[in-house]
Structure 1
Amino acid sequence: MAAPSGFGTSFAANRCPNLASSSVLLPSRFRFFPKLSKTETIASKTGLRFPPKYDGTSNALVRENKTDSKEIKFSSLELLKTSSANRYTKDRSSIVVIGLNVHTAPVEMREKLSIPEAQWPRAISELCALNHIDEAAVLSTCNRMEIYIVALSQHRGVKEVTDWMSKVSGVPVSELCQHRFLLYDKDATRHLFEVSTGLDSVVLGEGQILAQVKHVVKAVQGVPGFGRKISGLFKHAITLGKRVRTETNISMGSVSVSSAAVDLALMKLPESLYANTPESLYANTRVLVVGAGKMGKLVIKHLVAKGCTKMVVVNRTEDKVAAICKEIKDAEIVNKPLSEMLACAAEADVVFTSTTSETPLFSKEQVQKFPPVTYQIGGQRLFIDISVPRNVESCVSDVEGACVYNVDDLKDVVAANKEDRFQKAMEAQGIILEEVKQFEAWKDSLETVPTIKKLRAYAERIRASEVDKCLSKMGDDVTNKRKEAVHDLSASIVNKILHGPMQHLRCDDTRSLSEMLENMHALNRIFGLDPEISLLEEKIRAKFEQAQ
């Protein structure tokens, strides 16, 4: 869907605010007051434990009015690390989805928030420049605009993204919050899985959304900010979407009157028109569509999807047909005026009608004058009338060589197909729950990656140091073969010693997440690794350096 007018200018002009302000990340109780002269005063009110280098004799955190801005920025960074480290490392980063879709917001609101594909990489970069956002992705279609993030802090991450959405769209935050939805961690994962399988679509099980999720990955692959967790989530959703469609066939069967009309005609056409596939029937059939309104447009789209490469469209005005021709370029659409409707119908094999006319367009007397159809084996001219009031008189079916189907005939087909899809949706939910569990296990295992890397590096440093000492004692006449044997022996010993700890840092069916994380924290304490705290400090420092 095209972006609303003025979006590009708004998007470029509303970059994320300067991240250097110390008050962006700090609660009000951590603001600096020049009159305070002792760090103990702050500590007594906030309960903070300052790092060793702030031992109470230094006034680096709270200086008099002479304190310059550079020192305040540095102080705020140090204070942030000490005050927030426990919160960040205790509450792991979260996957969050913040969005609006066809179920929560009208099209006018979705249009304002829509982000064109060309802007996706820049949107991801701007989102990840926010203080509490580590990774991001944008899923923007006609029916939804959803932002997926990895947030270092759920509450602050959501606030930052909401403010960013408001700035680039011009929609006030208060109005945005009335229509947005928020989902966290497992719920966010499950939502994307339901989206990719078509369970969250207007038409249950529709397949277009899976192609759109694939396109997101293709369009932003390699963009900084489309990181390991978010890209893993989207790729898992694509694999799941394919699996559900293969195992349940949920997208089979028409679930709208317009698609059912096209499928019904396909079933009624004689097999003698087959070329290679059933869809090739429409390539050899003369088709007339009367009416180019909403239903008529859908009929045309479904016809093209089923292989119809040429058709005649009759409508009261030419503008609507011209707009459809501009949008649908995979078929030759011949526009005829309403005055030529009967002549066009006389030359057609299948006639679809979908107008708002209150009087019938085709009567028995008119159809009796039509020449026979061109089918090679006893076919009939099909009138498929999806109009209310009806456009084709019911007595037309009494004419030899004519057959009429109305909207009631199609409703039974649609109802049966919907019931079938609901049954398949229940099967799909079972598959989704299984895949959510697998993805969460994979995501949780990433939490121990820094510990695994630091533990292996720690052991490798000791191994290399001890091997060098050993070889130096053995003298200069040691052959390369013996040196290689010593290296191999030491590496083998280290690998065997590390095998047990490494296994206990991986989440599997025999080990719970809580046990895995307990093992991780134990190893961090024993070997003094603190990978999560150091990782947090690196991310915070990078944010501040980027802002400065």
Structure 2
Amino acid sequence: MHIAVVGLSHRTAPVEIRERLSIAEHHHDEAVAHLMRVAAGLDSLVLGEGQILSQVKKMVRLGQEHQSIGPILNRLLNQAVSTGKRVRTETNLGTGAVSISSAAVELAQLKVGQARGVDDLVPLDQEQIAVVGAGRMARLLLQHLQAKGAPGVVLLNRTVERAELMAADCPGLPVQCRPLSDLDHCLSTCSLVFTSTAAEDPIIDAARLGKLNRRSSLMLIDIGVPRNIAADVAALMGVESFDVDDLQEVVTRNQEARREIAAEAEVLLQDEGRQFLDWWDGLEAVPVVNRLRTQLEDIREQELHKALSRMGPDLSARERKVVEALSKGIINKILHTPMTNLRAPQPRQQRQLAMQVLQDLFDLNDPQT
């Protein structure tokens, strides 16, 4: 007997499996709530992930360009986008590093700020920065450094060609690619060094740093597993060293903060979802209101024609326009209250009762039913 287990949760199953075997299906209220949560980043593996909102906005734009979105879906999608923006504006859901690479850059910003007498995150625009390694984590480091204002980065790797390929993915960030043999030079001249290599043993230790002629303080942030930087460097004067354990504390703290903020965001989502559903439910009254408007418009035109005929040919064009505008204004005034009340948020049964009364009073029953 052969038994296979397929995981369909986006938290446990690879995307290749999920997209082939599972399509989430939601209806009415649940569908609206799901879209709002997705746009706000509450349904992401990383709470508050901003890239999701950008993807939703792109999807809306493409749908509009190809005229594949109807008026109701267009309203829903645009409200989902505005909801995502509202969540990010009115809460701090998108702030705080929640990955090791982003936490490393955030920690550097904090420590650099403290060195400048500022107890907050600061741009890294005055730092001489080096990144050692050219793997996935190093790639993410470059992206976060670029976002945080790094003026440039020295990228060291055993294979310079691999480093150059990675640097090409960050065209907005000046990157100097050098062989790992230049590490001592970078440790002597840089103020901030990140390490992320697959080396089995530390590549930086106290003995190595002790031989260098450093003229400034040095901050070392190690996101390699196992450690790329030996623990003994912390005993050196002018050297600060942080590793994955230090960064994990930052990540855990920010994740917990985001979970608390997510509860606040849920309240906003409920409000936005209710607004859309109220608008959607109100569309039920549109056919009845349109039939009433058509009926009143027919009456208006008939009575206007009679009145203008009685007034004779001496009536000027301007006077005719005034009389016609008067008749249209009366119709609009009559329709305003029932249209507003029928489309206002209310229990569906109550709206349907009001619609039925209106249809009976004005004989508005749809001839097709």
TM range (shorter): 0.7 to 0.9
| In 2: Cα distance, 1:493 partner to 1:513 partner | 29
The residue that corresponds to 2:198 in the other structure is 356
Do the aligned partners of 1:507 and 1:513 also contact (CA within 8 Å) in 2? no
Which residue of the other structure, out of 8, 12, 15, is the alignment partner of 1:107?
15
1:303 aligns with 145
Once residues 318 and 137 of structure 2 are traced to their aligned partners in structure 1, the CA distance between those partners, rounded to angstroms, is: 81
C-alpha change, 1:206 and 1:306, in structure 2 (3 Å) is: same
Higher relative contact order (CA 8 A, sep 6+): 2
Q: What TM-score, normalized by structure 1, do the two folds share?
A: 0.60
CA drift at 1:460:
0.5
Amino acid at match of 1:391: N
Q: 1:256 to 1:109 in 2, by over 3 A?
A: same
Q: Aligned with 1:212: secondary structure?
A: helix
Give the partner amino acid of 1:372. Answer: R
Question: Are positions 1:314 and 2:156 aligned together?
Answer: yes
| Aligned-CA RMSD value | 2.9
Deviations 1:130-174 (A, max 9, x none): xxxxxxxxxxxxxxxxxxxxxxxxxxxxxxxxxxxxxxxxxxxxx
Counterpart of 1:289 in structure 2: which amino acid?
V
* Corresponding residue number in structure 1 for 2:97: 254
Show the 5 A alignment for 1:200-219.
200-219=43-62
Which residue in 1 is equivalent to 2:366?
A: 530
The correspondence for 1:389, drawn from 219, 226, 245, is 226
**Which of 331, 340, 351 pairs up with 1:516?**
351
CA distance in 2, matches of 1:442, 1:331: 46
Counterpart residue type for residue 426 of structure 1 = A
8 A contact 1:316–1:337 mirrored in 2 = yes
| In 2: Cα distance, 1:340 partner to 1:293 partner | 18
Question: Percent identical across equivalent pairs?
Answer: 38
- Equivalent residues of 2:112, 2:122 under 8 A apart: no
Q: Are the equivalent residues in 2 in contact too, given 1:349–1:373 (CA < 8 A)?
A: no
**Does the CA-based 8 Å contact 1:309-1:330 persist in structure 2?**
no
Matched residue SS, 1:336: strand
Distance change in 2, residues 1:499/1:296 (3 Å): closer
Matched residue of 2:168: which SS? helix
What is the one-letter code of the residue matched to 1:405? F
Given the alignment of the two structures, is residue 468 of structure 1 paired with residue 331 of structure 2, yes or no?
no
Give CA deviations for 1:292-316 in whole Å, capped at 9, x if unaligned. Answer: 2122211111111111131111223
Gaps of 5+ in 1: 1-99, 114-175, 375-379, 535-548
Task: Give a deviation string over 1:46-65, Cα, whole Å, max 9, x none.
Answer: xxxxxxxxxxxxxxxxxxxx
Using a 3 Å threshold, how does the CA distance of structure 1 residues 267 and 382 change in structure 2: closer, same or farther?
same
- Pick from 241, 256, 259 the counterpart of residue 404 of structure 1: 241
C-alpha distance 479-297 of structure 1, shift in aligned 2 (>3 A): closer
- The structural deviation recorded for 1:514 is 2.9
Measure the CA separation in 2 of the matches of 1:497 and 1:350.
72
Deviation at 1:419, TM superposition (A): 0.9
1:389 deviates by 1.5
Whether the 8 Å CA contact 1:196–1:238 is kept in 2: the answer is yes
Q: Report the Cα offset of residue 523 of structure 1.
A: 4.2
Gaps of 5+ in 2: 1-7
- Which of 11, 17, 26 lines up with 1:183 in the alignment? 26
Cα 1:478/1:246, change in 2 over 3 Å: closer
Change (3 A) 1:214 1:101: farther
For structure 1, which segment, 476-485 or 229-238, has the greater mean C-alpha deviation from structure 2 after superposition? 476-485
CA contact (8 A) 2:154 2:176 kept: yes
* Structure 1 stretches of at least 4 aligned residues deviating more than 6 Å after TM superposition: 271-274
Change (3 A) 1:233 1:320: farther
Q: Is the 8 A contact 2:100 2:248 kept in 1?
A: yes
Residue of 322, 343, 352 corresponding to 2:185: 343
Quote the residue 1:128 is aligned against: none
1:424 to 2:266 alignment: no
**Aligned equivalents of 1:422 and 1:457: distance in 2?**
53
Give the SS at the match of 2:154: strand
Report SS of the residue matched to 2:251: helix
Post-superposition shift, 1:484?
Answer: 5.0
Separation (CA, whole Å) in 2 of partners of 1:373 and 1:101: 52
By how many angstroms is 1:386 displaced?
1.5
- The amino acid across from 2:354 in the alignment is N
- Once the two structures are TM-superposed, the CA of residue 489 in structure 1 deviates from its matched residue by 4.9
Letter in 2 for 1:179: S
